[in-house]
Structure 1
Amino acid sequence: MAGHSKWANIKHRKGAQDKKRGKIFTKLIKEISVAAREGGGDVETNPRLRLAVQNAKGQNMPKDNIERAIKKATGSESVEYFEPTYEGYGPHGVAVFVECATDNLNRTVASVRATFSKNGGSLGVNGSVDYMFDRKGIFLVKLEEGYSEDEIELDLIDGGAEELEFNEDYLHITTAMEDFGNMQTKLDELGMEVESAELQRIPTMMVDLADEEFQQVMKLIDILEDDDDVQKVYHNLNASDEQMALLSED
């Protein structure tokens, strides 16, 4: 788990400078739309919408954009989204799990399959890599000055934290999937600023590759993440600081 936690923080720092950052807003708006259409537009009674709005605010999405997305999703002309998942292998045997939100299933599966095949991977059947991942709650919390690390640890362990990683101004929290709601409640009680909170698929075994092979796999991951129908991409490729630096040079 330590390797993944490190990976998550590296991705967070890289994300702040990501030239594809505009894609983040597109995916957040789609998640807000799906949540509002399914459970209504009230964040107080719709937990999924509340979470989507929280994550959008954590990415500094303007309030007007959020409200507009909710209004459109709950109106008479709202778009119906499906949420298929796809599993497969990237180059060099790296497991890849893709979560999508789409209004056209045929378009999405064709696009995902083509991306795998054109970049040295292969799309598999459902269940082909799912067993290699655990579902965990992942929280990224902005820390205030003068916090007591020991006191925070006790409170968050009480809320269901399995792992805590303090990193400069941020705290990365991992919980069991069943404790996701409990942790949200605990963070609210503590008045802690949550920048992102989501259920993720955490690899149980990581794969280490040489730099050239690493870049081949990351090319596949980047193209998948750039697809408008793709919401999240999970994989079990490990990454050193030096390898992440190679990506930032592109």
Structure 2
Amino acid sequence: MDFIIDTTGSDNTENKTKNTLISRLLEDYEESLPSHKPPTTNKKKEVCLQTFFDEMGWSGTAPKTKPDILSDLKTPSNEVQEALKKSVLTEDFEKKHEVPPLEVSEKRLKKQRKKESELTKGKKWYGLPATEMTDEVKRDLEILQMRSVLDPKRFYKKNDSKVLPKYFQIGKVLDSPLDYYNARLTKKERKKTLVDELLADAEFTKYNKRKYKEIIQEKQKTHYKAWRQAKRLKKKK
């Protein structure tokens, strides 16, 4: 395959004239456009401003982040928080059956304070609560009042009152981590109430039976004595 290269060019002058016309038109168009010169800056003014910023301790650049206008509204003041405490619209407002009154009378406020004060013993007793009195709790408290009868070898001080206490708390005795496993009670040996513990105690049941027999015998003797005395009175008549 043969390649032919034209080194002399064509003699046609029409293309040359066209190119020259286009270049002239472009030059005329560029001259007609308005000249855009870069804005000249006053260097002396910039230097003065920079020295002023340095003396005042300013950075001279505006903060990029926009100031949060709602920041004051997001964090309410103390006055607003105190006003919201008295508000009727609380978190559990939807659960209420009726809308509570905005203004409460002094008499009703006294009743509410009295109810709240009755829930605990007071600050002097570190807020000792009024525990709910169930049957199991009542039996345990009665046993504690009769603790002097439970063990004959131990002496207890006499109770201050015969009425069951209103304010009390029930705790749980934890095993010491220093004790070995054999010294601790198993789950079966642990009971929920004092009554269950006493019924499971063999020595207490033995002592209780003996005391019960003694009481019955004394009653029988008193009945017999009363019967004999009544019989004597009848004979005298």
- Calculate the TM-score normalised by the size of structure 2: 0.21
- Calculate the TM-score normalised by the size of structure 1: 0.20
Determine which structure has the larger strand proportion and give its number: 1
Larger Cα Rg: Structure 1 or Structure 2? 2
